[in-house]
Amino acid sequence: MLIHSKQGKVCIGLTALSVILIVTALFLAPSGKEKALEIDAELYTNDGVRPAEETALGTALYIDGKLIAVTKNPLDARSALDSLAQASAASWGNGEGVHSILNRVMMEKGYYKESLFVNGEELSALLGVSDGVYSNRIRNVFGDLLSIELEVQTKATAERRVSLPFETVRVNVPFLGDGETHTEVEGADGEAVETFETVTVNGVLVQTAVLSSETVKESVTEEVWQGVSMSLASLIERPKLELPYHGRISSDYGWRYVFGSLDFHNGIDFIGYDSSCYGDKVYASADGVVVEAKYNSGYGNRVVIDHGNGMKTVYAHLSAFLVEKGDVVACGDPVGKIGATGRVTGPHLHFGVDINGKELNPADYMDISGIQILS
């Protein structure tokens, strides 16, 4: 019984020791995350096999899936590739710019046999680069010539001066004969500086793009006056004029009493709608040439525009001139400001139409429907 008791104690002791060891092992064993880090730290090769003693850690360079060699320092591989791109571009006449290899280039880190390792200078030689010159021959670490068609892209920026051609505008004038022309303003080309980018592949230009443009000299528009075609103008019996001012009509064309006596009014007077029209702009009713811009007795400050084909328009009692004699104006251009100069009772615009020396009713040559007429 005593022996059995001792054996029982021994068994109990061994069992207790086992439990303690198991518990200790559980506490001391690394967690799943720590195990993963430990495995990663062992740097298995690509195929998952633990590296052999005769291998070393390095970076393998592949071009188009073909192994060139392995370097211990990945910077050596990058430097050799940069030298290859530069030398190849120079061989095509593209020394300046940013060069990049378009071929599929891969650099894989892992454990490799010592026989595959080369230094940076040796790698450049395998890539066919010597003293900055590309031989167009790429070999691998075993000395085999590889059939790799190298493609190198070069992006470069430069500046150039470009001409800005001038434009020519033609203006019909009444004082020149049919078909006659006169260059009133000589045209001149301008100049701009363009910054552009070129993209070449193996010396062949594939793209040009303008990045920016700065005008350094403005072009001068050429202005050519040409005589009115009478054959065309004669087809227009009653040319349409635009309103010189958008307001009310205070006095229309015809007989009226003014300053205590009966008088014939040879035009139309315009005034404002809600307030004084003094200082409001007056606009040319058609294209033409200014033949008068001066003070004229009872009309005060007066502008007369010749539209050709014997037609002239008159803008009187102005407070200011916005054109000069000889100016070429387009329909809608401002020619003056409403005033009260000359023989008037208040600020207004006197507008008249003269055809071949006859003062006619302006209402026959423009649309005054919808305009309030006070007289």
Domains identified in the chain and CATH numbers: 55-150 (no CATH), 156-226 (2.20.230.10), 248-364 (2.70.70.10)
Instruction: Return the pLDDT at 240.
Output: 82
CA distance 321 to 101: 69
Q: For residue 283, give Cα distances in angstroms to 272, 297, 332.
A: 15, 22, 5
The token pair at 231 is 């054959």
Evaluate if residue 2 carries a pLDDT over 70.
no
Instruction: Return the pLDDT at 318.
Output: 97
Evaluate if residue 270 carries a pLDDT over 90.
yes
Instruction: Return the pLDDT at 95.
Output: 81
Q: pTM surpassing 0.75?
A: no
Instruction: Give the pLDDT mean for 36-40.
Output: 30
CA distance 287 to 193: 37
Instruction: Return the pLDDT at 110.
Output: 92
Residue 224 vs residue 280, higher pLDDT: 280
Instruction: Give the pLDDT mean for 232-245.
Output: 67
Instruction: Give the pLDDT mean for 26-41.
Output: 35
The token pair at 90 is 């120079």
Provide the pLDDT confidence category of residue 15 given band limits of 50, 70 and 90. low
Provide the pLDDT confidence category of residue 225 given band limits of 50, 70 and 90. confident
- What are the beta bridge partners of residue 105? 63
Instruction: Return the pLDDT at 45.
Output: 43
Identify the DSSP state of 25. Answer: H
Instruction: Return the pLDDT at 238.
Output: 56
Instruction: Return the pLDDT at 353.
Output: 94
Evaluate if residue 43 carries a pLDDT over 90.
no
Instruction: Return the pLDDT at 25.
Output: 44
CA distance 317 to 267: 12
Instruction: Return the pLDDT at 3.
Output: 38
CA distance 134 to 125: 9
Instruction: Return the pLDDT at 265.
Output: 87
Instruction: Return the pLDDT at 171.
Output: 76
End-to-end Cα distance, the chain: 149
Evaluate if residue 332 carries a pLDDT over 70.
yes
Instruction: Return the pLDDT at 205.
Output: 93
